[in-house]
């Protein structure tokens, strides 16, 4: 049955639910609906707090990585872009693998492993602060750490989405996704200024120490929460990566193109401030994150009411306008 493009998101979520049916034809997720309201009120806030702490580990270095690589190590902007982008490339490449883990082992299992990867990746980046190593070796260690952090981001993203979606009614899927996004980009907002402050006053070493501690705090919170017994994805109900990409590429390409702007800002906004002689460079990324959170809080209900395609179109237009009015170099 053909559906209009702007109704694809709720229909996709619904089709995933219907595909997991027991022998009587009842969606297996429906078996957990009776306890949904209690579970949501009890666990969702803790999940969102844990997501905030995990993404804080990834967000804090964003405002300082380019500065550290170019100013402290004397490397080029291209190498700074590699250092920043390594985590995002790793996130993309391991996304299917992390999704399979979430489907087969559950959201909590996936989320906990993601937190552990954040800790390990930040510890590896911590080793890059050792002055005993030559600069090329430190850069290599930094890239390795960023790759592990990117794997952690993918595991956390899959885990919290799987875990939270099992606690809510599908009619609230848009609001729940908005809340998750608010937690993530609140971390970007807080982490931008916090990371820059740590870097300017106590150096790269202190920044990586704090980045290691925040996912440990998330692990402590998550281990106290019970697993949600959602049914595993059955092999006969799974589709291939090619089939999945065929279904979502039309929505993924605009998201990819728009996210390019965020990638550039995340990598070079702080350095742009420094090159212009502007103070408070950490506030650039912070304002971006807080703007994202405010819009999610005020308009996060619109995809459920108006449709995702329409909201995405207007959001993209506003974002492009913001990039255009940025002062040129």
Average pLDDT over residues 62-91: 89
Buried b (16+ CB within 10 A) or exposed e, 203-229: ebebbbebbbebbebbbeebeebeebe
Contact 156, 96 (CB under 8 A): no
Cross-strand bridge partners of residue 21: 27
Q: Which residue has the tokens 């799987």?
A: 162
Domains, the chain, ranges and CATH? Answer: 35-228+240-325 (1.20.1250.20)
Compute CA distances 303 → 10, 68, 97, 309, whole Å: 9, 39, 28, 8
Compute CA distances 220 → 4, 46, 263, whole Å: 44, 11, 31
9 vs 321: CA distance, rounded Å:
26
Contact 88, 55 (CB under 8 A): no
For residue range 221-275, list pLDDT tens digits in order: 888 777 665 555 555 566 776 777 787 777 778 777 777 777 777 777 777 777 7
- The residues near 38 (Cβ < 8 Å, ≥ 6 apart) are none
175 vs 234: CA distance, rounded Å:
28
Which of 45-49, 145-149, 263-267, 311-315 is most confident?
Answer: 145-149
pLDDT bucket at 208, cuts 50 / 70 / 90: very high
296 vs 171: CA distance, rounded Å:
17
For residue range 7-46, list pLDDT tens digits in order: 443 333 333 343 344 444 434 333 344 444 444 557 778 8
């Amino acid at each position: 049955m053909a559906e209009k493009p702007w109704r694809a998101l709720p229909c996709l979520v619904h089709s995933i639910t219907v595909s997991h049916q027991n022998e009587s034809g009842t969606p297996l997720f429906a078996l957990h609906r009776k306890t949904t309201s209690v579970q949501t009120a009890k666990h969702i806030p803790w999940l969102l707090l844990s997501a905030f702490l995990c993404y804080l580990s990834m967000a804090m270095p964003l405002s300082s990585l380019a500065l550290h690589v170019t100013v402290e190590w004397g490397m080029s902007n291209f190498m700074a872009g590699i250092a920043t982008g390594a985590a995002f490339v790793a996130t993309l490449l391991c996304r299917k693998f992390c999704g399979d883990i979430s489907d087969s082992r559950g959201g909590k299992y996936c989320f906990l492993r993601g937190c552990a990867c954040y800790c390990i990746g930040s510890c590896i980046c911590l080793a890059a602060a050792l002055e005993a190593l030559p600069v090329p070796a430190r850069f290599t260690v930094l890239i390795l750490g960023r790759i592990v952090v990117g794997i952690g981001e993918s595991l956390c993203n899959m885990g919290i989405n799987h875990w939270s979606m099992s606690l809510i009614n599908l009619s609230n899927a848009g609001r729940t996704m908005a809340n998750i996004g608010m937690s993530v980009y609140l971390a970007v907002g807080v982490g931008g200024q916090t990371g820059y402050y740590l870097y300017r006053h106590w150096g790269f070493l202190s920044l990586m120490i704090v980045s290691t501690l925040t996912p440990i705090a998330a692990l402590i919170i998550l281990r106290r929460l019970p697993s949600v017994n959602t049914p595993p994805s059955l092999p006969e109900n799974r589709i291939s990566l090619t089939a999945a990409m065929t279904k979502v590429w039309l929505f993924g390409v605009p998201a990819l193109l728009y996210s390019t702007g965020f990638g550039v800002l995340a990598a070079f906004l702080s350095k742009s401030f420094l090159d212009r002689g502007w103070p408070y460079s950490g506030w650039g990324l912070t304002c971006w994150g807080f703007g994202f959170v405010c819009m999610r809080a005020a308009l996060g209900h619109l995809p459920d009411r108006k449709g995702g395609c329409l909201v995405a179109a207007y959001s993209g237009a506003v974002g492009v306008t913001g990039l255009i009015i940025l002062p040129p170099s």
